């Protein structure tokens, strides 16, 4: 859990972080967020410089009420009105943004896709998230769920997904999926980073895992490119570290499966802001509101 | 090829139509469009009432120049500056719109999705086309190619598609695909309507074709729903006539494969404007510009 004091120009003036407590109550998690935010504020010369608090949350957000609806990876916050809680306890206006949408906003503000009208940010982490920038603005959809590119089907009869579907992109391109596919092929690693290291060291099985991952990612992105004709797709998250092991296959699938004009238009690039994309995007989202 | 004189409220004041000439030169096709438009104008009480001409074309359009770039089904018009030609020869300002986008605009103006902010129009015809309405406006993408939902992959190793990809939705949900799948299963019909009639008459093989078609369509739409969280998906084109034979399976795939909130949000309905959707949408597009 990371908090920062962000200036209007995107400067990070102070930072604080802590492990998300496992098995905690929602109120404990909120307490911790508030504590980290207070720590950040305390480091500023003038604590009244803080205009607002903005949170990037791995959740579906009820935009009207500020209630968090669905957090598969942080269930204890389901039903919590994080917007009201943060505003009340920190004494400033509060804003919420979905974490993947926040990352897309951050990259569009100060990162790889800065200034572009139409871009998609794909985060290859524990799961596969996504955020859309359309006509220069974040596109959230009526329920705030737009951008779930991790649940595009790339294998109709494929691996069962936690979402209820089968063969979702997330089952082939997330860190979890990379580790699972490596194990299926006999490489008993604990993390996607291990698989990446093995591929870098010339292990053919590990390389094969990333070829399969890249093929699935390319199939998913090719569909997005045909539907949205974006100028850029920005890829971030931990698995992006394996870039050289999958990007050629991603591009090959896109060139094969997408129409020529949008395939030639789209730049597929690595995210530039790392873990700060979400923090910066949430701040930008609050500033623009 | 259909032409109509459209009022600002969407009233169709006069109509003309002709078969698209096979194997004609581009100039012959343009001559025919101009002739049909003149016929429509001649029927009006006052020919100076015509403010502009708008064309819905099965093409990628260079929005800046007005040149038609890619018309797989009408190659003779490739490279033609239809906007300048129509404007010059009819003596009014001319506007071009991709046919699938025009249908989406038409349905959003006076049809099934009227007044909604976020909708997708899918046309199941010879191919599978699509048009997007986002935040109440047509979304065309930087190259004007956005909305190509027919080229979302629903079967990675599936049937080779004319676009260069494999297993595109178009290969399972177009009229061409329905006829092909029926033939593969031993039903030697010439048209998708024949297959539909057979299904209606209780033919199990024909019903099976539409179940497969519905499953593929549902897989493609489920991804769109996860990515765009639309309020409505409008389905038109000739194959929509087989609605009762595929819609239950489409909905089942969507409920299984899409996130709950957007799956419950989206209404999947039949188009209301039939063949007029494109004409009305092109007119609306011109009026709004």
| A86-95: pLDDT as tens digits | 999 999 999 9
- Average pLDDT, rounded, for chain A: 96
Does the pTM surpass 0.80? The reply is yes
Q: Give the per-residue pLDDT at B71.
A: 86
CA distance B278 to chain A (A): 19
- My answer on whether A148 and A203 are in the same domain is yes
Which of B257, B258, B267 to substitute to test the interface with A, most A CBs within 10 Å? B257
B141 closest CB neighbour out of A142, A229, A257: A229
- My answer on whether B129 and B263 are in the same domain is yes
- Cβ density class B72-81: b for 16+ within 10 Å, e for less: eebebbeebb
Distance CA B202, CA B216 (A): 22
Contact pairs from chain A to chain B, CB under 8 Å: 152
Q: Give the per-residue pLDDT at B49.
A: 87
- My answer on whether A44 and A120 are in the same domain is no
Whether A164 sits inside 8 A of B256 (CB atoms) is: yes
Residue B109 lies in a domain: no
Distance CA B211, CA B217 (A): 10
Whether A143 sits inside 8 A of B257 (CB atoms) is: no
Whether A153 sits inside 8 A of B222 (CB atoms) is: yes
pLDDT for residue A49 is more than 90: no
The distance of Cα B18 from the centroid of its chain, to the nearest Å, equals 19
Residue B41 lies in a domain: yes
Q: Is B136 helix (H, G, I), strand (E, B) or coil?
A: coil
Q: Is B245 helix (H, G, I), strand (E, B) or coil?
A: helix
**Tokens linked to B128:** 């599978």
Distance CA B103, CA B131 (A): 7
Q: Is A191 helix (H, G, I), strand (E, B) or coil?
A: coil
**Which has the closest alpha carbon to A57: A80, A31, A87, A41?**
A80
Residue B28 lies in a domain: yes
CA distance B225 to chain A (A): 8
Q: Is A47 on the interface with B (CB under 8 A)?
A: no
Judge whether B87 and B30 are in contact, CB under 8 Å: no
pLDDT for residue A47 is more than 90: no
pLDDT for residue A72 is more than 90: no
Q: In which region does residue B186 sit, left (phi positive, over 0), alpha (psi from -120 to 50) or beta (all else)? A: left
Q: Is A142 on the interface with B (CB under 8 A)?
A: yes
Distance CA A281, CA B267 (A): 31
Q: Give the per-residue pLDDT at B91.
A: 96
Q: Kindly give, in sequence order, each residue whose CB lies less than 8 Å from that of residue A57, ignoring residues fewer than 6 positions away.
A: A68, A71, A74, A77, A82, A96, A97, A98, A99
Where does a domain end: A42, A72, A99? Answer: A99
The DSSP code sequence of A107-164 is: HHHHSTTTT-SSEEEEEESSSEEEEEEETTEEE--TTS-TT-GGGSBSSTT--B-TTS
CA distance B261 to chain A (A): 7
- My answer on whether A91 and A121 are in the same domain is no
Q: Give the per-residue pLDDT at B105.
A: 98
Q: How many domains does chain A have?
A: 2
DSSP annotation of B239 reads: G
Q: What would the pLDDT profile of A120-154 be if each residue is shown by its tens digit?
A: 999 999 999 999 999 999 999 999 999 999 999 99
Residue B131 lies in a domain: yes
Q: What is the largest CA-CA distance in chain B?
A: 57
Q: In which region does residue B132 sit, left (phi positive, over 0), alpha (psi from -120 to 50) or beta (all else)? A: beta
Whether B219 sits inside 8 A of A258 (CB atoms) is: no
Residue B218 lies in a domain: yes
- My answer on whether B28 and B136 are in the same domain is no
Q: By CA distance, what is B101's nearest residue in A?
A: A227
Q: Is B101 on the interface with A (CB under 8 A)?
A: no
Q: Is B102 on the interface with A (CB under 8 A)?
A: no
Look at A22 and B254; give whichever has higher pLDDT.
Answer: B254
Residue A106 lies in a domain: no
Whether A258 sits inside 8 A of B151 (CB atoms) is: yes
Residue B108 lies in a domain: no
Q: Give the per-residue pLDDT at A21.
A: 83
Distance CA B121, CA B112 (A): 10
Phi and psi of A157, rounded to 5°? -105, 25
Q: Which helix (H) or strand (E) holds B89?
A: helix B82-90
- My answer on whether A84 and A118 are in the same domain is no
Q: Give the per-residue pLDDT at A71.
A: 86
Distance CA B274, CA B270 (A): 9
Q: Give the per-residue pLDDT at B24.
A: 85
Q: Give the per-residue pLDDT at B109.
A: 98
Polymer length of chain A: 289
For chain B, positions 69-98, list CB contacts with chain A under 8 A.
69-70
Whether B151 sits inside 8 A of A223 (CB atoms) is: yes
| β-pair partners for A232 | A119, A267
CA distance A93 to chain B (A): 26
A226 closest CB neighbour out of B134, B152, B215: B152
Percentage of chain A lying above the pLDDT 90 cut: 92
- My answer on whether B138 and B256 are in the same domain is yes
What residues in B contact A156, CB-CB < 8 Å? 154-155, 215, 219
- My answer on whether B157 and B261 are in the same domain is yes
Q: Is B154 on the interface with A (CB under 8 A)?
A: yes
Whether B229 sits inside 8 A of A261 (CB atoms) is: no
Distance CA A288, CA B3 (A): 45
For chain B, positions 199-218, list CB contacts with chain A under 8 A.
215
Q: What is the CATH number of the domain that holds B194?
A: 3.30.420.40
- My answer on whether A29 and A134 are in the same domain is no
Q: Is B227 on the interface with A (CB under 8 A)?
A: yes
Q: By CA distance, what is B222's nearest residue in A?
A: A152
- My answer on whether B92 and B144 are in the same domain is no
Give me the mean pLDDT over the A221-240 stretch. 98
Q: Is A68 on the interface with B (CB under 8 A)?
A: no
Give me the mean pLDDT over the A23-45 stretch. 93
Distance CA B59, CA A142 (A): 31
The distance of Cα B120 from the centroid of its chain, to the nearest Å, equals 11
Q: Which stretches in chain B have pLDDT values below 50?
A: none
Whether A229 sits inside 8 A of B140 (CB atoms) is: yes
Residue B75 lies in a domain: yes
Q: Give the per-residue pLDDT at B20.
A: 87
Domain that holds residue A94: 2-99
Polymer length of chain B: 289
- My answer on whether A90 and A231 are in the same domain is no
ipTM of the complex: 0.95
What residues in B contact A228, CB-CB < 8 Å? 139, 141, 146
Q: By CA distance, what is A160's nearest residue in B?
A: B257
- My answer on whether B120 and B232 are in the same domain is yes
Q: Kindly give, in sequence order, each residue whose CB lies less than 8 Å from that of residue B65, ignoring residues fewer than 6 positions away.
A: B81, B83
Q: Is A261 on the interface with B (CB under 8 A)?
A: yes
The distance of Cα A253 from the centroid of its chain, to the nearest Å, equals 23
């Amino acid at each position: 859990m990371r908090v920062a004091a962000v200036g209007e120009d995107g400067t990070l003036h102070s930072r604080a972080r802590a492990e998300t407590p496992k098995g905690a109550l929602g109120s404990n998690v909120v307490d911790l967020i508030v504590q980290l935010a207070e720590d950040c504020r305390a480091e500023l010369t003038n604590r009244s410089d803080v205009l607002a608090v903005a949170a990037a949350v791995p959740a579906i957000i009820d935009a009207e009420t500020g209630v968090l609806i669905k957090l598969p990876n942080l269930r204890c916050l389901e039903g919590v009105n994080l917007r009201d809680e943060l505003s009340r306890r920190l004494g400033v206006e509060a804003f919420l943004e979905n974490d993947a949408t926040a990352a897309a906003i951050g990259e569009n503000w100060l990162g790889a896709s800065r200034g572009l009208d139409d871009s998609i940010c794909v985060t290859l982490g524990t799961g596969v998230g996504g955020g859309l920038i359309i006509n220069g603005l974040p596109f959230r959809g009526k329920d705030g769920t737009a951008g779930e590119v991790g649940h595009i089907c790339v294998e109709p009869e494929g691996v069962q997904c936690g979402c209820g579907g089968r063969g979702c992109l997330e089952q082939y391109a997330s860190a979890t999926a990379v580790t699972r596919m490596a194990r299926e092929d006999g490489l008993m690693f604990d993390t996607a980073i291990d698989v990446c290291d093995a591929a870098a060291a010339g292990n053919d099985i590990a390389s094969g895992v990333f070829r399969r991952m890249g093929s699935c990612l390319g199939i998913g992105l090719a569909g997005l490119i045909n539907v949205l004709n974006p100028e850029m797709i920005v890829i971030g998250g931990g698995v992006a570290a394996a870039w050289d092991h999958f990007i050629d296959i991603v591009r090959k699938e896109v060139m094969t499966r997408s129409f020529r004009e949008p395939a030639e238009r789209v730049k597929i690039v690595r995210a530039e802001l790392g873990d700060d994309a979400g923090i910066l995007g949430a701040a930008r989202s609050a500033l623009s509101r």
